[in-house]
Amino acid sequence: RLQQATEHLFRIGYDTIAGYLHSGMKSWQTAGKPLQRIAQMPVEELNQHLDEENLTILDVRSDQEYLNGAIPGSYHIYLPHLEEQMSAKLDHTKAVATYCGSGYRASIAASLLQKHGFATVINIPGSWSAWKSADFPVEQPSSVR
C-alpha cells in the first residue's frame, strides 16, 4: 500500500516523501503517541451553514475542477499551494471547512491547516461528490479566486 499512497500523494503535488509509519496507525497508538482529531461535517450540515460569516469553505481542488462548479461562497486554494498561501489568504480566527473531489485531498488540507495553528478545522467527508449527489446548489465561478 506504500506504493499506492505514494502515487496518490504524487498526483496531488507531493513528490518528496520523507518517510512513512511502518506498521500504520495501530503501532502509533500502541506506543502511546499523541493523536489529534479533525471535526467532520456532512454536506447536509454544511448546506445549512453556507451563509455563516465565521466559516470559510475552502475548495482545494485544481483550478479546472473549481471552475467547473463549486460550493456557493467557497474560497479556492489548490492543495499543492495551500501551505505557501494559507497565512496570507485565510483568517486564522474563522473556522475552515475543507473539501475536494471525494474527500482525500480535503483531509490532507485539514491536517495542514491544523498543523499551522488554525483553531477550528473541519473536513467535509465525500466532499464535492457528496455535495453533487445531494443535489445542493452549485456556483459557477467565472475565475479562480
Could you give the residue numbers annotated as active site?
A: 100
- Residues 89, 139, 101, 109: what is their CA dihedral angle, to the nearest 10 degrees? 20
For residue 134 the three cell numbers come to 445531494
Q: Tell me the CA distances in angstroms from 27 to 2, 31, 32, 70, 72, one per residue in order.
A: 16, 6, 9, 38, 41
Instruction: Count Cβ atoms within 10 A of the Cβ of residue 99 and give its class: 0-12 exposed, 13-18 middle, 19 or more buried.
Output: buried
How far does Cα 59 stand from its chain's mean position? Answer: 7
Nearest to 125 by CA among 95, 142, 101, 143: 101
